Amino acid sequence: VDDVTEYMVIDYIQSLNSYKVEGAQTEQELEGRYSKFRYFVEDLRNEIEKQGVQSDVVNIKDVKSDNSVQLTGLEFGYYLVDEITDVEGTHSAGSLCMVSTANPSAEMQVKSDYPSVIKKIQEDDQNPNLTDPDGWNDIGDYEIGQTVPYKYESNIPNMNGYKNYYYAWHDKMDKALTFKPESVKITISDEKGKSYTLKEGEFTVKTNPGGGDTFQVVVQDMKSIVDKQFPNFNEKQENTYGQKVTLTYEATLNDLAANDTGRPGFENDVRLEFSNDADSNNEGSTGFTPWDTVVCFTYRIDIVKTNDHDKVLQGAHFRLYSDKDCKNEVYVKQGDTGYHVINRDSAGGTDHTGGSQPQDVVEMVSGADGQVILIGLDQGTYWLKETKAPDGYRLLKDPIEIKIIPTYTDDRNNYIKGQGATAETLKELQATAHIKSFYDGVTDEKDLQLETNPEQGNANLTVVNKVGSKLPVTGTPALAILLITGTGLMAVAMAVAKARKKE
C-alpha cells in the first residue's frame, strides 16, 4: 500500500472512466448504460457509507432555463455526486456519478430514468369517442354484479446500476367494487413481439395491506426477471430496457353501487412504487408515480304503476329482459331500497346469457305506492314485461322497450380524479320508452322521452293499466277462438229463431 502513490490512484480511476467530460484534455469514448467506472463509483459510494463519512448536502431550490445546476467555489479534486431526490410526483430517480475538477471547468449529465403507469377501464358498449378498438379508456358503465375489467400499462426503466429493482402497484378501489385477486395477470413485452407472463411466485398480491390501499401487486425484483427473459447485453454487461408491462385484473360492481347511481361514479386509483436508489440494494428509498384514476357508473329506473285516472296500483308483476323476444332474463333480487340487478357474470354466465339462476332471484312487484325501483343498470336497451296485472285490470301484452343513453365527455382518456361528481364527465342522461297497448279494438303506440336526473342516475317511467275490453290482435289464436265461438252462437240463435217461427 505504501508504494501506491496519489498519481497511480488517479491514473487507475481515469482508466476506468469512459464518461465524455467537457474540458478533458484527452479524447474519451461515450459512456454506455453501464461501465467499470460505474461499478467503481458504486463500490466507492458503499465504502464511504460504511466508513460513516459525512457528505455535503446541497439543496437545489431552482434550476436554470436549460434545467442545469452550477456548483462553484470547489477545490480541485474528485467529487462523488449522489442525487437524492424526493420522487413523489416528480417522475425522477436517483443517479450516481463521479466527476473530476482537475480541470478549471467540467460538465456532467445526471440522467434520471423512471417508470410510469397508466390505468384503463374496459367499456363494453360501442361509442364513437372510444379510440381503442377494445374499449379501453377512462370511463365505463356496468350493471350490478357485472365483471369490470381493468388494466395498468407501465414501462421498464433503465435498471442498469441496480442489483435488483422493486416494482409495486398500489390500488385504491371504491367500496362498490369488489377486487378479484385470482384475476391478476402480468405480462412483459418488447418491440420485437416477444412477451413473457409472470408466473406464480414472481409476484405477490396483497389484499387490505393498509395505508388506504385496497390491494398491492408486488414484484420484489423486476430486474432479475427482465434480465432473464429479455437478455440483450452489450460488451459492458449492460442490458437493454424499455419493455412494456401490462397488468390486467377484474373487479365486480357490488350491491353498494345501489346507493350511488349516476354521479359521482365509482373511482379506482393506481400509482406505481419503484426503486430510486441504486446504492440501496433494495433496502433503501423508493419513489412513487402520481395517482392515475378511472371511473365507472350505473343507473336505475323508477317505475310507477297507475291506472288511466292516475291512481297508483299495487300488485303488478314485472320481469326484465335483455332481448326483444324476452328469452334472456335480467335477474333481480330484493334490496333495501329497490330491486338490484344480478348480472349473469355473477351467476356463472357471460353478461346477459348463460349461467344458473341465483337462489335469491325474485319477480318485481309494485308496492302500495305503485313503485318498482330497478337499480344497477348499464347503458343500452332493456325490455320490461308485465307478467301479471293488478286485480281487475288488463295485462299489457307487449313488453316496454327502454333505452338508457348517457352522454360522456368526448375526451375519454384524460379523466381527472373528482370529475365524476361534475358535469365534466357524465354530461347528461337520456332515456326513452316505447309502449304498445291494445284496448277496445284500438292499438296505441307511444314513444316517450323519460324524465331523467344525471345526478341521481335515474329515469322515471309511468306504466298505465286500464279497465275495459281488450280485444285480441288480428291473426292471433285468441281471435280465431273468438270467431269460432261467435259463429257457433249465431248458428244456435238462428236455429232457435226458425223453430219458434214454425210454431
Per-residue pLDDT tens digits for 307-363: 999 999 999 999 999 999 999 999 999 999 999 999 999 999 999 999 999 999 999
Per-residue pLDDT tens digits for 306-320: 999 999 999 999 999
DSSP string, 166-224: -EEEEEEE-TTEEEEEEEEEEEEE-TTS-EEEPPTTSSEEEEEEETTEEEEEEES-HHH
Comparing CA positions, the residue from 79, 503, 10, 49 lying closest to residue 278 is: 49
Confidence band for 365, pLDDT divided at 50, 70 and 90? very high
Query: 3-state class of 122 per DSSP?
Result: strand
Among 234-238, 297-301, 481-485, where is mean pLDDT lowest?
481-485
Distance CA 361, CA 340 (A): 10
Inter-residue contact 213 to 268 (CB < 8 Å): no
Strand duo 317-321 + 329-334: pairing: antiparallel
Cβ contacts of residue 361 below 8 Å, gap of 6+?
A: 331, 332, 333, 342
Residue with cell 347503458: 379
Per-residue pLDDT tens digits for 125-165: 988 889 999 999 999 999 999 999 999 999 999 998 889 99
Residue with cell 244456435: 492
Burial (CB < 10 A; 0-12, 13-18, 19+), residue 353, is exposed
Residue 187 φ then ψ, to 5°: -130, 135
Q: Answer yes or no: is pLDDT of 483 > 60.
A: no
Distance CA 312, CA 463 (A): 10
Mean pLDDT of 166-172: 98
Strand partners, 104: none
Distance CA 445, CA 28 (A): 86
Q: Which of 43-47, 65-69, 268-272 has the highest mean pLDDT?
A: 268-272
- Residue 127 has what pLDDT? 85
Mean pLDDT of 240-262: 98
Q: Which is higher by pLDDT, 385 or 475?
A: 385
| Percent above pLDDT 70 for the chain | 74
Q: Answer yes or no: is pLDDT of 208 > 50.
A: yes
